[in-house]
Amino acid sequence: MSNAKQLATLAKTIDDAFEGRDKIGPKTKGAVRKAVDTALGLLDTGAARVAERQSDGIWQVNQ
């Protein structure tokens, strides 16, 4: 699976989990836990950014 496809799958899992956030807590396991841990890892290592300055100087905020 390509990196772009993996990130899209990760984003969908987290977006879907957000819609049911009232059912998620510290004991949540499975795909949601793995997706959140992966996203945090990407942010911690700098592989993903919360916001990025574009070449035209405008900031793009990533979800």
Q: Specify the 3-state DSSP secondary structure of 1.
A: coil
pLDDT at 4 over 80: yes
pLDDT at 2 over 90: no
pLDDT at 1 over 80: no
Residue that is written with structure tokens 């945090």 in the block:
40
Number of domains in the chain: 1
Q: What is the CATH number of the domain that holds 37?
A: 1.10.166.10
Query: How many whole angstroms separate alpha carbon 18 and alpha carbon 21?
Result: 5
Supply the range of the domain harboring residue 23: 3-61
Two tokens at 32?
A: 């949601």
